Amino acid sequence: MKRVKQVQEILERPLVLENPSTYVTFKQSTMGEAEFIGRLAEEADSSLLLDVNNIYVSSRNHGFDPDEYLAQVRYDRVTQIHLAGHTDKGTHCIDTHSRPVIDRVWELYAESERRSGGRATLLEWDEDIPSFEETFAEMKKAAKYKARRKRVASVA
């Protein structure tokens, strides 16, 4: 926390902390990642960038429930949600930003939209960049999920 505060003081701006995709775990840990990042953001008074693809990738690599992770997120701190594709190697996933977003990640996105009340969304695609039409189609999927959340919220 001290380092985050120190960087924020130097930059004179709050940081936005992102949950990572992970490939190894700590031998021992006293708290889960979502709780750790949430506490860090709270104590350092910074924001969170929620990467739902990273949650999916890490859940596949480590065998945890991504829905339970989403239930622990500090949504009052989330300022942006990221979506991306990944490479599935069968035994593990790699966050490559090189493929379309899969259905399960869209489901996690829908849940994060519902829990957050809606946040800015960024579709990351850094490798094997598709045509504009394919990228635009992915963006329209995100817009569909945002519109669905707004319809449900207005009925409730």
User: What SS3 state is found at 50?
Assistant: strand
Rounded to 5°, angle at Cα 118 from 8 and 76: 45
> CB atoms < 10 A from the CB of 90, how many?
5
Helix axes 103-116 and 52-62, enclosed angle (nearest 10): 120
- For domain 14-20+30-155, is the CATH number 3.40.50.720? no
For all residues of the chain together, what is the average pLDDT?
A: 92
| pLDDT-derived band at 155, boundaries 50, 70, 90 | low
| DSSP state string for 106-127 | HHHHHHHHHHHT--EEEEE--S
Q: What does pTM read for this prediction? A: 0.91
